[in-house]
């Protein structure tokens, strides 16, 4: 069983009776009595708990909303108060359980119970969503939830008519769940409490809200002093209020219900009546209220007079009219009740002003009791300040019989009060009395004063506003317009010309239809925003303006306030900007150089042209979906950050050199120029990119070629010098070695000169080695690569290397776990090791370590990416490392350049590493260097692995091949060398034909056609070289063998220093044994080719 509280009934009925019928006031009094007389609250229909259980709590914590008046709120001393609080205090007295109230924001209160920080919610509507978290008692109140809207909104019958408006609700309130379930199209916004919601509505943040009716009326009365909010005719819902505990807490729920079962309906009704007070007709016009009060009072006393006369007649009437008399008595009681319960002060005075009777509303207003008032005048009880007010009213009543709408000031508890007085004289029982009604208009007077102050402030602010403004009332169709000072300044009119006249009257509107459009929009939407129109200044100049408008309340009228924003200059600027942007867009798109617009700090792309896409290789989608840094476009991200820093500092950056990486991984060298531009109100970086990769490569290539040319010229000069020196020096050494060897052979081992001859031979051989080094230095030596095991070859040089680097440096050799076959000239290997170890030694300051390591490595396409010059294949690696001072990158880039040295003057030639580089390249290998300052240096040489070739065996010392009388033509332009060579050949048993010039040799070959087995010729000679001589000799001796001898071949019989295939060569200077071996090899090959030997009768020539 549920019923609405008395307060809800009053408010519900007053809402439906409207404000236009004064009779509704008296009818409302009757409804109040009927409401209070009937059943007010639900009782308990379930069986009651007989007694509290032994384990019932001695104290419970009850939480509720701190801004939910009149049900729960904090009073002026900060203590919990309200209907719900009083009901729970009564519950506490019934159960003996102490209740601790905690009032807070509504959502916090619900969370407190759900989280176990509180025991119960004081008053809670039951909804489907809340049933998931709470268990509920039986209801003890019914509360209506209403829909409230601003008076500017017309045609609102219910919540559905507010579609498109934002509806305010209290966060966590049941209205949120109701709107979401039944009205999903309605948008709502939550506030922490009811008072905050009302403040937001009055401030204009929202135009409509949903709230429990009693609570809404409480806070509207407090904050809506202008009375701008209305309520729909029907409530949104009528809800039953329960107490609630956390879901599953059945024991506590039973204890709480036990207490409520012991509270009667009359007790709850008494609490509600105490808080309901009297109804406040805030929205009834005061004139209507006064008339209604007066009419009620007249009607009341007419009925009383009629009742008195009727009762006199009934006294002498017959018994059959007794029932009618009883009915009249009941009617009199009802009318007296109406008088007592009237919401305004009702008074009856005699003609001297003494009080005859008054109702409770009057006593409450003046703060006096009946015994203090009856029989005394208003002046005597202290209501008036003097006799003037009371005597003036009495005089006018006696003269006219009526006083209406008289404003008086009376003394009352809390200070002076403004009242509106209505009075009329009545004849009652032969006595003239004064029936009066008083309405407290203190609130209205204060509101009027505040409104006047507000309007004065508004007028000052309006006239001093920095933008043109105007307002006009709907009373005269918005014709009489008030303009502010800024408007006069902008549009050039004087106040005499424009004040009180409409814009149409002074010719303001270029298109008169724009004025009608403005008014129509305002009336339809209650506001106007950004209406663009053309307006004419007094001097005829046309200005483009944006209009903003709102209806405001001003002295009871609907006033349209308009602000004029001159956008002429902005439109011109926008047009210029659009034209500029169009020109820029065309230039941007068609620019032959890549152009980019991006965010300054994040590097996110905003736009780019086609040439940027062509250069960088990414698709538009890839660029828009990621930043440049995320895509890895910047090879060095710090370069991009530096561009951003300089741009922020200077506003532009010019000719910044950087490297970017394309989608294919190609590195491009670019020159980056940029400046800050504004894109949609955001600062961005506009960049112009010049790709100079090809130009840089061409410049580098030119520089490289220039350096190579200079190096070639240097080496050519050195080579020519070395070759010339080596040629002559080797010839002289050949004479020395030849004669010494012949002398040693003929002198015998016991000859005292044998030791001296051996020393001469040793010195000559060392000189020959020195000559070979000179040729190697100039890359002019003729080499004969052979397959060898690299580990064994290196190991044979270790002793020499240790002697070179000194005792304070440790030499470590790591030969590896297998054999490592390579093809290289042994003398070149020695040069590599010596140069690298000497450089390592010079890089070590004091004690240190040098490591030589041999290994094996396979180069494929994957690990080749870091050194693209390396060809795929299998290699033997020779690594020389030291823990010396190391090198920076700049130094590493130049170490293989000829004549580059980091040593002091006179301490290095700068050719050591250049020679190593040349030897490695000559043997189809590669060399890499790894170094860091302070961390030593590592050189790694890659030589092709000779998997299909066996190493050449050690020949050892072999016997001199025996001659068979073959004929040898010897050609040498140095006479002394020709003689010693001829002598050695004759001693070996050969027939010799000596020639000191190519022309002599050609003649001898012709004379001995078909007789010559072998041609031994110098390579470099006057008239012609050895190769050309061989070709001439073969004309007369086609099957002849050939052996070249030289200290310097000058690429006549070799290619880049490597002997041509099938060429027999004897390096000067040589020994007799060396000569015999090479002659024997050449003749053996001739015989293998099928040529028979030409035997001569004698062994000489």
Q: What's the pLDDT band for 861 if we cut at 50, 70, 90?
A: low
Residue 321: inside a domain, yes or no? yes
Residue 221 included in any domain:
yes
Between 1096 and 565, residue with greater pLDDT: 565
Whether 608 shows a pLDDT value over 60: the answer reads yes
Residue 982 covered by a domain: yes
Helix-helix angle 286-316:23-37, to 10 degrees: 70
Stated as kind and residue range, the H or E segment containing 460 is helix 442-464
pLDDT at 306: 67
Higher pLDDT: 55 or 822? It is 822
Domain identity same for 85 and 204: yes
- Residue pointed to by tokens 């008289």: 406
Mean pLDDT of 220-231: 87
Residue 458 lies in a domain: no
If pLDDT is split at 50, 70 and 90, which confidence band does 15 have?
Answer: very low
C-alpha distances in angstroms, 926 versus 147, 786, 882, 886, 939? 90, 18, 20, 21, 11
Is 579 part of any domain?
no
pLDDT score at 285: 54
CATH code where residue 470 lies: 3.30.450.20
The alpha carbon of residue 622 and the mean position of all alpha carbons in its chain are separated, in whole angstroms, by 18
CB 444 within 8 A of CB 458: no
Q: What's the pLDDT at 674? A: 92
Q: DSSP code of 374?
A: B
Same domain, 123 and 219: yes
Residues 662 and 751 in one domain: no
Would you say residue 452 lies in a domain? no
Bond prior to 685 in cis (omega within 30° of 0)? no
Upstream peptide bond of 109 is cis (omega within 30 degrees of 0): no
**What is the predicted pLDDT for the residue at 34?**
33
pLDDT at 939 over 90: yes
Q: Is the pLDDT at 743 greater than 70, yes or no?
A: yes
Work out the number of other CB atoms within 10 angstroms of the CB of residue 85. 24
- Stated as kind and residue range, the H or E segment containing 143 is strand 141-150
Mean pLDDT in residue range 993-1008: 94
d(CA 282, CA 483) in angstroms, rounded, equals 34
pLDDT, position 1046: 82
- Angle, helices 693-747/754-777, rounded to nearest 10 degrees: 170
Shared domain for 938 and 1051, answered yes or no, is no
Question: Which residue would you say has higher pLDDT here, 863 or 578?
Answer: 578
Q: Find the mean pLDDT for residues 891-916.
A: 73
pLDDT at res. 524: 87
Whether residue 14 has pLDDT greater than 50:
no
- pLDDT at position 862, please? 62
Residue 870 confidence (pLDDT): 72
Q: Report helix angle 6-17 to 265-276, nearest 10.
A: 50
Q: Is residue 281 in some structural domain?
A: no
Q: How many CB atoms lie within 10 A of CB 420?
A: 22
Lowest-pLDDT range of 202-211, 332-341, 512-521, 1068-1077? 332-341
Give the global pTM: 0.33
Tokens 């029907």 belong to residue: 234
Tell me the Ramachandran region of residue 1062: left when phi exceeds 0, alpha when psi lies from -120 to 50, beta otherwise.
left
Does residue 303 share a domain with residue 222? no
Encoding tokens for residue 921?
């390249």
User: Would residue 950 count as lying in a domain?
Assistant: no
Range name among 76-90, 328-342, 578-592, 745-759 with the lowest pLDDT average: 328-342
Nearest-5° Cα angle at 428, 425 to 432: 45
Looking at mean pLDDT, say which of 199-203, 359-363, 1084-1088 comes out highest: 199-203
Q: What is the pLDDT of residues 780-814, one digit of tens each?
A: 566 668 888 998 889 888 888 888 888 889 999 99
- Indicate if the pLDDT at residue 311 is higher than 80: no
Return the sign of the alpha-carbon dihedral for residues 1070, 1072, 1077, 1082.
Answer: positive
The answer to whether residue 375 scores a pLDDT higher than 70 is yes
**Which phi and psi (to 5°) does residue 124 adopt?**
-150, 130
Give the contacts of 690 (CB within 8 A, at least 6 positions apart).
593, 670, 671, 673
User: Are 71 and 205 part of one and the same domain?
Assistant: yes
Range of the domain at 829: 783-944
- What is the three-class DSSP state of 403? strand
In this predicted model, what pLDDT tens digit does every residue of 731-742 receive, in sequence order?
788 888 888 888
pLDDT given for residue 868 in this prediction: 53
Contact 990, 970 (CB under 8 A): no
Residue 284: what pLDDT? 47
Mean pLDDT of the chain: 81
266 with 296, same domain? no
Question: pLDDT per residue over 1018-1066, tens digit each?
Answer: 888 888 988 899 999 999 999 999 999 887 655 555 554 456 667 888 8
Same domain, 227 and 295: no
Number of domains in the chain: 6
pLDDT confidence band for 1099 (50 / 70 / 90): very low
If you average pLDDT over residues 357-363, what whole number do you get?
A: 86
The string of pLDDT tens digits covering residues 674-710 is 999 888 778 899 999 999 888 888 887 788 778 767 7
- pLDDT (tens digit, 9 = 90+) per residue, 167-179? 999 988 888 888 8
- Model confidence pLDDT, tens digit, residues 703-729: 877 876 776 677 667 666 766 676 677
Residues 391 and 411 in one domain: yes
């Amino acid at each position: 069983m549920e019923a609405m509280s008395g307060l809800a009934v009053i408010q519900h009925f007053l809402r439906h009776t409207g404000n236009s019928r004064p009779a509704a006031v008296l009818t409302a009094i009757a409804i109040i009595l009927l409401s209070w007389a009937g059943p007010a609250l639900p009782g308990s229909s379930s069986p009651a708990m007989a007694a509290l259980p032994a384990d019932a709590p001695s104290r419970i914590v009850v939480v509720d909303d701190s801004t939910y008046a009149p049900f729960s709120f904090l009073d002026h001393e900060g203590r919990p108060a309200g209907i719900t609080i009083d009901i729970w205090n009564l519950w506490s007295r019934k159960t003996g359980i102490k209740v601790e109230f905690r009032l807070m924001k509504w959502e916090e209160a619900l969370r407190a119970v759900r989280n176990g920080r509180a025991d119960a919610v004081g008053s809670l509507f039951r909804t489907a969503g809340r049933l998931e978290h709470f268990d509920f008692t039986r209801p003890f109140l019914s509360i209506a939830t209403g829909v409230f809207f601003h008076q500017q909104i017309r045609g609102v019958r219910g919540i559905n008519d507010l579609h498109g408006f934002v509806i305010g609700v209290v966060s966590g309130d049941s209205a949120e769940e109701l709107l979401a379930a039944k009205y999903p199209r309605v948008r709502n916004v939550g506030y922490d409490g009811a008072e905050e919601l009302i403040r937001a509505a009055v401030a204009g943040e929202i135009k409509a809200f949903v709230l429990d009716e009693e609570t809404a009326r409480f806070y509207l009365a407090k904050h809506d002093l202008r009375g701008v909010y209305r309520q729909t005719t029907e409530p949104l819902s009528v809800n039953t209020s329960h107490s609630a505990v956390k879901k599953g807490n059945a024991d506590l729920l039973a204890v709480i219900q036990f207490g409520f079962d012991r509270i009667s309906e009359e007790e709850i009704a008494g609490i509600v009546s105490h808080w309901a007070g009297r109804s406040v007709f805030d929205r009834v016009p005061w004139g209507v209220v006064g008339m209604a009060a007066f009419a009620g009072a007249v009607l009341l006393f007419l009925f009383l007079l009629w009742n008195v006369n009727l009762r006199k007649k009934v006294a002498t009437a017959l018994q059959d009219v007794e029932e009618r008399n009883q009915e009249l008595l009941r009617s009199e009681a009802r009318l007296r009740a109406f008088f007592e319960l009237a919401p305004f002060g009702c008074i009856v005075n005699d003609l001297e002003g003494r009080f005859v009777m008054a109702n409770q509303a009057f006593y409450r207003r003046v703060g006096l009791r009946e015994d203090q008032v009856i029989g005394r005048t208003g002046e005597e009880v202290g209501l008036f300040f003097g006799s003037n007010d009371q005597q003036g009213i009495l005089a006018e009543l006696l003269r006219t019989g009526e006083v209406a709408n008289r404003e008086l000031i009376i003394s009352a508890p809390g200070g002076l009060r403004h009242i509106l007085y209505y009075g009329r004289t009545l004849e009652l029982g032969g006595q003239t009395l004064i029936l009066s009604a008083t309405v407290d208009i203190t609130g209205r007077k204060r509101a009027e004063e505040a409104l006047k102050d507000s309007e004065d402030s508004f007028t000052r602010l309006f006239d001093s506003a920095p933008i043109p403004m105007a307002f006009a009332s709907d009373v005269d169709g918005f014709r009489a317009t008030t303009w502010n000072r800024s408007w006069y300044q902008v549009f050039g009119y004087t106040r005499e010309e424009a004040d009180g006249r409409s814009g149409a009257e002074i010719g303001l509107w270029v298109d008169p239809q724009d004025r009608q459009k403005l008014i129509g929009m305002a009336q339809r939407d209650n506001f106007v925003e950004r209406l663009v129109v053309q307006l004419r200044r007094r001097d005829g100049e046309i200005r483009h303006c944006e209009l903003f408008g709102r209806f405001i309340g001003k002295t009871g009228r609907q006033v349209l306030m308009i602000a004029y924003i001159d956008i002429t200059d902005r439109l011109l600027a926008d047009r210029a900007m659009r034209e500029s942007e169009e020109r820029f867009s065309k230039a941007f798109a068609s620019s032959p150089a890549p152009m980019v617009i991006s965010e300054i700090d994040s590097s996110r792309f905003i736009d780019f042209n086609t040439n940027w896409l062509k250069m960088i290789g990414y698709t538009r989608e890839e660029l828009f979906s990621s930043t440049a840094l995320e895509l890895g476009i910047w090879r060095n991200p710090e370069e991009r950050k530096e561009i951003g820093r300089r741009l922020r500092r200077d506003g532009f950056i010019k000719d910044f050199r950087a490297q970017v990486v394309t989608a294919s991984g190609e590195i491009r060298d670019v020159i980056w120029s940029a400046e800050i531009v504004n894109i949609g109100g955001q600062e961005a970086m506009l960049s112009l990119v010049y790709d100079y990769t090809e130009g840089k490569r061409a410049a580098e290539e030119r520089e490289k070629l220039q350096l190579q040319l200079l190096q070639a010229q240097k080496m050519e000069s050195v080579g020519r010098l070395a070759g010339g020196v080596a040629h002559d020096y080797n010839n002289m050494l050949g004479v020395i070695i030849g004669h010494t060897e012949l002398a040693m052979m003929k002198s015998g081992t016991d000859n005292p000169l044998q030791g001296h001859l051996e020393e001469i031979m040793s010195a000559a051989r060392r000189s020959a080695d020195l000559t070979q080094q000179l040729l190697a230095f100039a890359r002019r030596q003729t080499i004969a690569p052979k397959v060898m095991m690299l580990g064994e070859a290196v190991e044979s040089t270790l002793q020499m290397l240790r002697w070179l680097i000194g005792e304070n440096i440790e030499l470590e050799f790591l030969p590896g776990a297998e054999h490592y076959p390579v093809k290289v000239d042994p003398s070149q290997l020695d040069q590599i090791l010596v140069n690298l170890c000497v450089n390592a030694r010079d890089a070590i300051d004091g004690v240190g370590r040098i490591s030589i390591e041999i290994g094996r490595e396979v180069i494929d396409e994957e690990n080749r990416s870091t050194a693209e010059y390396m060809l795929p294949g299998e290699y033997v690696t020779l690594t020389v490392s030291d823990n010396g001072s190391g090198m920076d990158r700049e130094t590493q880039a130049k170490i293989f350049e000829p004549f580059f040295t980091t040593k002091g003057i006179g301490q290095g030639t700068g050719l050591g590493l250049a020679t190593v580089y040349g030897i490695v390249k000559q043997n189809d290998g590669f060399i890499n260097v790894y170094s860091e300052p302070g961390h030593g240096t590592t050189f790694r040489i890659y030589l092709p692995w000779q998997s299909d070739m066996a190493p050449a065996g050690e020949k050892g010392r072999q016997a001199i091949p025996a001659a068979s009388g073959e004929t040898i033509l010897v050609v040498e332009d140095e006479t002394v060398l020709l003689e010693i060579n001829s002598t050695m050949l004759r001693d070996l048993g050969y027939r010799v034909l000596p020639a000191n010039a190519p022309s002599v040799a050609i003649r001898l070959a012709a004379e001995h056609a078909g007789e010559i087995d072998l041609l031994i010729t110098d390579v470099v000679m006057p008239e012609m070289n050895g190769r050309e001589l061989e070709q001439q000799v073969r004309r007369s001796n086609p099957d002849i063998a050939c052996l070249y001898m030289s200290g310097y071949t000058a690429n006549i019989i070799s290619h880049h220093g490597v002997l041509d295939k099938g060429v027999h060569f004897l390096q000067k200077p040589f020994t007799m044994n060396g000569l015999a071996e090479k002659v024997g090899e050449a003749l053996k090959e001739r015989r293998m080719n099928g040529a028979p030997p030409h035997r001569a009768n004698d062994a000489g020539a």
